Chain A
Amino acid sequence: EAGVTQSPTHLIKTRGQQATLRCSPISGHTSVYWYQQALGLGLQFLLWYDEGEERNRGNFPPRFSGRQFPNYSSELNVNALELEDSALYLCASSRRLAGGELFFGEGSRLTVL
């Protein structure tokens, strides 16, 4: 069974540009969570999608947005990139409202120059 997959692995952008990160959850999982891990910091909760709906979001500005597709894959968009957006972006999936473990992908490293 394939795990959570994320793309791209690495992405380099300049300030003001937009970045799009993608995530495919484990088969059978309908919940997708996004986290940001800036250098030297912990995992900060960004967004939670379940059954195609945004269910909750963390304390991030509106330029962080995303969506979940009918096949439960998800996309994270970061608009008007700032230098401090440079981080490892992690996607995790779980069964719908199961309240169990989150399974993480390998992450997408975003660098903003």
Chain B
Amino acid sequence: DQQVKQNSPSLSVQEGRISILNCDYTNSMFDYFLWYKKYPAEGPTFLISISSIKDKNEDGRFTVFLNKSAKHLSLHIVPSQPGDSAVYFCAAKDSGTYKYIFGTGTRLKVLA
């Protein structure tokens, strides 16, 4: 049972445009959501997070939106840069078990 889903395995965007990465979840016990960026053979790097009591969090070029009623979150990157090319994982923390569940990732390619 995949509790956190990233339905788009890959995404290509032109440099300077907006990248939108999506994530859906099923567990109502999730209370904290995170986005990580990962390069091959390296550990994931934390990007941005959002608590379930908020619907938006912004940090520089990165904004995360949370729609609790739809159980959906998204990561917006504006403007996209070639260095943003990586695999992006969304993750969610279960408030009961403290497990962090990760999605399967979306490979973002920013074209110069």
Contact = CB atoms under 8 A, between A and B. Distances in A.
Given A103-B46, A105-B43, A106-B43, A97 B34 contact: no
Contact of A104 (B44, B98, B103, B104): B44
Nearest to A104: B43
Interface stretch (A11-19, A42-50, A60-68, A69-77): A42-50
Interface residues of B, number: 24
B93 A88 contact: no
Contacts, number: 59
Chain B interface, >50% SS class: strand
Given A45-B100, A56-B98, A90-B43, A102 B89 contact: no
B22 interface: no
Contacts of A33: 100
Interface string B68-104: 0000000000000000000001010101011111111
Contacts of A41: 104
A88 B42 CA distance: 9
A55 B49 contact: no
B98 A43 contact: no
B41 A107 contact: yes
Interface of B: 31-32, 34, 36, 41-46, 49, 89, 91, 93, 95, 97-105
Interface of A: 4, 31, 33, 35, 41-45, 48, 55-56, 58, 88, 90, 92, 97, 99-107, 109
